[in-house]
Structure 1
Amino acid sequence: MFNKKYFVYAAVAIACGAGGAWFSDMQAQQALAEASAAKAASMAALPPPVAALFRQQLKDVKGADQSLGQWRGKGLLVNFWATWCAPCVQEMPELSALQAEIQDKKLQIIGIGIDSPSNIAEFAEKHKIAYPVYVGGMSGTDLSRELGNAHGGLPFTVLIGADGRVKKTYLGRLKFDELRADLASM
Structure 2
Amino acid sequence: MNKKHVAAYVAVAALFGIMGALVAINKKEVPPYTTAIAPTGGKPHTAVDNLFKQSLNDLQGKPQSLAQWRGKPLVVNFWATWCAPCVQEMPELSELAHTDGGKTFNVIGIGIDSPSNMNEFAAKLKIAYPLYVAGMGGTELSREFGNSAGGLPYTVLIGADGQVRKTYLGKLKFDELRADLAKL
> What TM-score comes out, normalization by structure 1 length?
0.74
Further displaced range: 119-128 or 60-69:
119-128
Does the C-alpha gap of structure 1 residues 104 and 70 become closer, same or farther in structure 2, counting only changes over 3 Å?
A: closer
Q: What amino acid does structure 2 have at the position aligned with 1:98? A: L
Q: 2:158 aligns with which of 148, 160, 182?
A: 160
Give yes or no for the alignment of 1:68 onto 2:66: yes
Q: Secondary structure at the match of 1:99?
A: helix
Q: Secondary structure at the match of 1:63?
A: coil
Q: What amino acid does structure 2 have at the position aligned with 1:97? A: E
State the match for 1:93 in structure 2. 91
State the match for 2:180 in structure 1. 182
Q: Secondary structure at the match of 1:110?
A: strand
Q: What amino acid does structure 1 have at the position aligned with 2:148? A: A
Give yes or no for the alignment of 1:79 onto 2:68: no
Task: Measure, in 2, the Cα distance between the counterparts of 1:181 and 1:48.
Answer: 25
For the pair shown, the structure with the greater C-alpha radius of gyration is 1
Task: Measure, in 2, the Cα distance between the counterparts of 1:105 and 1:60.
Answer: 22
Task: Measure, in 2, the Cα distance between the counterparts of 1:47 and 1:178.
Answer: 23
Aligned-residue RMSD, C-alpha = 1.0
Task: Measure, in 1, the Cα distance between the counterparts of 2:63 and 2:82.
Answer: 24
Task: Measure, in 1, the Cα distance between the counterparts of 2:92 and 2:68.
Answer: 24
Higher share in helix: 1
The offset of 1:76, in angstroms, is 0.3
State the match for 2:37 in structure 1. none
The unaligned stretches of length 5 or more in structure 2 are 1-42
The offset of 1:92, in angstroms, is 0.6
Q: Secondary structure at the match of 1:137?
A: coil
The unaligned stretches of length 5 or more in structure 1 are 1-44
Task: Measure, in 2, the Cα distance between the counterparts of 1:101 and 1:83.
Answer: 23
Query: Cα deviation per residue 1:39-90 (whole Å; 9 max; x = unaligned)?
Result: xxxxxx4211000000000000111100000000011000000000010000
State the match for 1:55 in structure 2. 53
State the match for 2:146 in structure 1. 148
Does the C-alpha gap of structure 1 residues 112 and 104 become closer, same or farther in structure 2, counting only changes over 3 Å?
A: closer
Q: Secondary structure at the match of 1:52?
A: helix
Q: What amino acid does structure 1 have at the position aligned with 2:97? A: Q
The offset of 1:104, in angstroms, is 4.9
Q: Secondary structure at the match of 1:53?
A: helix
Q: Secondary structure at the match of 1:168?
A: strand
Task: Give the percent of matched residue pairs that are identical in Structure 1 and Structure 2.
Answer: 68
The offset of 1:117, in angstroms, is 1.4
Task: Measure, in 2, the Cα distance between the counterparts of 1:85 and 1:66.
Answer: 24
Task: Measure, in 1, the Cα distance between the counterparts of 2:149 and 2:129.
Answer: 26
Q: What amino acid does structure 2 have at the position aligned with 1:78? A: V
